[in-house]
C-alpha cells in the first residue's frame, strides 16, 4: 500500500513561500486504479513527483508497504514505473526495438528467448503486437501512450505513476488508455500494482477504484467515483470542476475533514481493500539492474543505430568532415610558397641589401602568416564541429534520459556511451583534416603530432560543449552557449593579434585554440617555416608537452562537469 501522511511541500525553503501541497494525506491500495484530478496548478503533478522522490516534501511521510521512503530506503527502480504526459521514445526506432532496449537497460539475468517471450506478452497486453515493427514516428498519440506504458512495465513495477497520459487524446482513445490502466492494475504475473493516473479528464471514471480531488494543493475529496458527484452536490461528475471554483482550496479542505469520513469508510470497506494492503506472495525477488558495462553496450549500440538511421545527421557529418578541409586548402591549392634565402653576396650595394632584407621580411609575413593562419583555421573549424557534436547530445534528449535514469540507468554508462560515440566522430574529423591539408598544401611539421593536437582541440571543445548540454534547460540554450564559447576562441587565442600579458594570463588557460595552435607551431620546429612564424607573432608559445597536458585537462574537466550535469535531476 502507498500512503502519504500529512505531506506538505513549499515552493522554496523560505518560510513565507507558498505551499504547493498542504497537509495531504491519502492512501492507495494494491490492485487499485487511482485518479488524481483537479484544475491546472492544483498540485497533481507535484504530488506524483513527491511520491517518486524527485521532490522532497517539507513535512510529512511517504510510505510504501509500511516503509518510510525518506529514512528506510527509496523506491527501487524496479518497483516504480513513471509515465510522463508525452510519450518519450526515439522516433527512428521501432516499437519492438524501444521495448527491447528498455528490457536490456533495466533487467539483468534473462536470456534472449525469455526476453523475446516477455516482450511479445507485453505487446499483446498493450495492444501493440501488430505495430511491433513500425517506427515510433508513425504512431498516433494513443499508440505512443500505449508504448510508454509498455516500456514502463517491462520490470513489472508494483507502483505505476502516469502523468496526463490521456491528455490530448480523442474520447475513444482516452477510454482505451483508461481501460488499459485498469487492466494493468489488476494482475501481472501474480503481482497486483497501484496505478495512479493524474488527469484533467473524467472519461472512464467508472473504471477507477479511487478518485482524489485536489484544490490549491489540498485534498477536496478522496473516495469512490460513484460518490464524487454526490459529495460535490453536482448533477453529474463533469460539473465537479465548476463546483470546485466556488470555494477556495482551504474551504474545500475544511469541508472534507468535517464530512469526508463516511466516503473514506465506504471506500475502505470495498471488496478488495483489505487484500491489497499486503504485497503478493510472489513479490520478493526484485529484478537485477544491469551493470555499467551492459548498460553502456546497449546505449552505444542504440546511439549508432540512431545515427545511421537519421540521414540528415549522417549527411551533415559527412559534409562537415569532407567540406571543412576544402575551405582550408582554398588558400594554398598550389601548395605553400617557397622560401627565398637572403643573398650572401657582399658586393651588393647598401640599397640592394636593404631592398633584399625588406623583401625577405615581406616574405616572412606572407608565408609565416599563411602557415599560422591555416593552422588556426583548421583548429577553429574543428572547434565548430566539436560544438555541433556536443551541444545537443544531452540537451536534445534530456526528458528521455531522465525517465531512463529514474528506471535505473547509470549516468556513468550514459555519458560513456556519448563519449565513445563522439570520440569516433572527433577521430574522423581530426585525422581527415590533417591528412587532407598535408596532402594538398604540403603543410609542414610533424603530422602525428598535429593529428594529436587537433584531435585534443576538437575533443576539448566537444567535452566542454557536452558539459553545457548537460546543464542547459533546452537544446536551443545549449547550442547558443556553445556557439558563443567557440566564437571567443579566435580572438582570445592570441594567434592573430597578441593579447596584453595581463589579459592573456587570465584567458589563456580556458582557450583550447591557443594550446593547439601553439603546439602545432612547435611541431614545425625542424622546418624553415618555424622561424618565419616566430618573426610575425608576438604571442609567447608554451612548451609542447604543456600544450598536450592542458588540452587533455580540458577534455577531462569538461567530461567531469558533464557527468555532474547528468547526475542532476531536470524535470519540467
User: Does residue 135 share a domain with residue 207?
Assistant: yes
Residues 90 and 215 in one domain: yes
* pLDDT score of 200: 87
Residue 560 reports pLDDT greater than 70: yes
Q: Over 383-449, what HEC string results?
A: HHHHHHHHHCCCHHHHHHHHHHHHCCCCHHHHHHHHHHHHHHHHHHHHHHHHHHHHHHHCCCCCHHH
pLDDT digits (tens, 9 = 90+) for 115-135: 999 999 999 999 999 999 999
Tell which wins on pLDDT, 76 or 468: 468
Concatenating the DSSP letter of every residue in 300-329 gives HHHHHHHHHH-HHHHHHHHHHHHHHHHHHH
Q: Would 219 be classed as within a structural domain?
A: yes
Distance CA 43, CA 33 (A): 19
Contact 192, 17 (CB under 8 A): no
Sorting pLDDT into bands at 50, 70 and 90, what band is 282? Answer: very low
Task: Give me the number of domains the chain comprises.
Answer: 2
User: What does the block give as the cell for 157?
Assistant: 513495477
| pLDDT tens by residue, 412-462 | 999 999 999 999 999 999 999 999 999 998 899 999 999 999 999 999 999
Note the helical H segments in 159-231: 171-186, 228-231
Give the pLDDT confidence score for residue 268 in this predicted structure: 57
Considering 227, 242, 276, which residue would you say is the last residue of a domain?
Answer: 276
Residue of 388, 514, 419, 373 lying closest to 457 (CA atoms): 514
Cell numbers found for residue 73: 530506503
Looking at residues 212-240, what average pLDDT do you find?
91
Burial of 235 (0-12, 13-18, 19+ CB in 10 A): exposed
Residues 6 or more apart whose CB falls under 8 angstroms from that of 327 comprise 377, 381
CATH value at residue 81: 3.40.50.300
* Residue 537 within any structural domain of the chain: yes
Q: 363 lies in a domain?
A: no
Expressed as residue numbers, the domain containing 508 is 292-333+371-567
Residue 175 lies in a domain: yes
**Cα(53)–Cα(76) distance, integer angstroms:** 11
Question: How many residues are there in the chain?
Answer: 572
Q: Residue 8: its pLDDT value, please?
A: 94
3-state secondary structure of 330: helix
For residue range 241-252, what is the model confidence (pLDDT) as tens digits? 999 999 999 999
Residue 184 falls inside a structural domain: yes
Whether 164 maps to a domain, the answer reads: yes
52 in any annotated domain: yes
Closest by Cα among 57, 40, 34, 85 to 216: 40
Same domain, 233 and 297: no
Q: What is the mean pLDDT of residues 218-227?
A: 92
Scan for cell 560543449, then name that residue: 465
Please tell me whether residues 548 and 425 are part of one structural domain.
yes
Residue 276 pLDDT grade (very low, low, confident, very high; cuts 50, 70, 90) = very low
Residues 464, 421, single domain; the answer is yes
242 with 194, same domain?
yes
Amino acid at each position: 500500500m502507498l500512503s502519504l501522511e500529512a505531506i506538505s511541500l513549499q515552493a522554496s525553503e523560505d518560510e513565507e513561500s507558498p505551499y504547493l501541497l498542504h497537509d495531504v494525506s491519502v492512501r492507495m491500495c494494491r490492485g487499485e486504479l487511482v485518479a488524481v484530478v483537479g484544475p491546472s496548478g492544483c498540485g497533481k503533478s507535484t504530488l506524483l513527483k513527491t511520491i517518486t522522490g524527485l521532490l522532497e516534501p517539507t513535512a510529512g511521510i511517504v510510505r510504501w508497504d509500511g516503509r518510510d521512503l525518506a529514512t528506510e530506503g527509496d523506491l527501487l527502480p524496479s518497483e516504480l514505473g513513471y509515465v510522463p504526459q508525452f510519450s518519450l521514445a526515439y522516433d527512428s526506432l521501432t516499437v519492438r526495438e524501444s521495448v527491447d532496449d528498455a528490457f536490456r537497460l533495466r533487467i539483468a539475468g534473462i536470456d534472449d528467448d525469455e526476453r523475446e517471450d516477455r516482450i511479445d506478452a507485453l505487446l499483446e497486453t498493450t495492444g501493440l503486437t501488430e505495430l511491433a515493427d513500425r517506427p515510433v514516428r508513425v504512431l498516433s498519440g494513443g499508440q505512443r501512450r500505449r508504448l510508454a506504458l509498455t516500456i514502463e512495465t517491462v520490470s513489472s513495477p508494483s507502483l505505476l505513476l502516469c502523468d496526463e497520459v490521456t491528455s490530448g487524446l480523442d474520447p475513444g482513445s482516452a477510454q482505451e488508455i483508461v481501460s488499459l490502466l485498469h487492466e494493468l492494475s489488476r494482475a501481472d504475473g501474480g503481482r497486483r500494482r497501484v496505478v495512479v493516473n493524474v488527469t484533467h479528464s473524467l472519461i472512464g471514471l467508472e473504471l477507477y477504484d479511487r478518485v482524489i480531488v485536489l484544490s490549491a494543493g489540498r485534498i477536496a475529496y478522496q473516495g469512490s467515483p460513484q460518490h464524487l458527484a454526490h459529495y460535490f452536490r453536482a448533477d453529474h461528475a463533469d460539473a465537479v470542476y465548476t463546483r470546485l471554483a466556488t470555494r477556495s482550496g482551504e474551504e474545500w479542505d475544511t469541508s472534507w475533514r468535517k464530512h469526508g469520513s463516511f466516503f473514506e469508510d465506504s471506500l475502505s470497506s470495498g471488496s478488495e481493500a483489505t487484500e491489497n494492503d499486503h504485497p503478493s506472495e510472489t513479490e520478493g525477488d526484485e529484478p537485477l539492474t544491469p551493470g555499467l558495462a551492459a548498460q553502456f553496450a546497449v546505449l552505444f549500440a542504440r546511439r549508432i543505430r540512431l545515427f545511421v538511421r537519421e540521414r540528415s545527421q549522417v549527411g551533415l557529418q559527412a559534409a562537415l568532415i569532407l567540406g571543412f578541409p576544402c575551405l582550408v586548402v582554398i588558400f594554398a591549392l598550389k601548395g605553400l610558397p617557397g622560401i627565398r634565402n637572403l643573398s650572401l653576396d657582399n658586393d651588393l650595394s647598401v640599397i640592394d641589401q636593404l631592398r633584399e632584407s625588406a623583401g625577405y621580411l615581406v616574405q616572412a609575413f606572407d608565408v609565416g602568416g599563411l602557415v599560422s593562419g591555416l593552422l588556426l583555421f583548421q583548429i577553429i573549424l574543428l572547434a565548430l564541429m566539436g560544438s555541433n557534436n556536443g551541444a545537443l547530445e544531452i540537451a536534445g534528449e534530456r526528458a528521455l534520459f531522465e525517465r531512463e535514469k529514474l528506471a535505473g540507468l547509470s549516468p556513468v554508462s550514459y555519458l560513456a556511451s556519448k563519449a565513445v560515440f563522439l570520440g569516433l566522430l572527433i577521430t574522423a574529423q581530426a585525422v581527415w583534416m590533417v591528412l587532407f591539408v598535408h596532402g594538398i598544401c604540403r603543410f609542414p611539421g610533424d603530422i602525428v603530432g598535429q593529428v594529436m593536437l587537433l584531435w585534443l582541440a576538437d575533443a576539448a571543445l566537444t567535452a566542454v560543449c557536452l558539459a553545457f548540454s548537460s546543464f542547459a534547460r533546452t537544446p536551443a540554450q545549449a547550442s547558443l552557449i556553445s556557439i558563443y564559447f567557440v566564437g571567443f576562441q579566435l580572438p582570445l587565442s592570441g594567434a592573430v593579434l597578441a593579447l596584453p600579458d595581463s589579459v592573456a594570463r587570465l584567458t589563456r588557460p580556458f582557450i583550447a585554440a591557443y594550446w593547439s595552435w601553439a603546439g602545432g607551431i612547435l611541431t614545425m620546429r625542424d622546418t624553415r617555416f618555424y622561424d618565419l612564424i616566430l618573426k610575425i607573432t608576438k604571442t609567447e608559445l608554451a612548451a609542447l608537452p604543456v600544450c598536450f597536458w592542458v588540452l587533455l585537462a580540458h577534455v577531462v574537466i569538461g567530461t567531469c562537469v558533464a557527468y555532474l550535469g547528468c547526475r542532476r535531476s531536470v524535470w519540467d
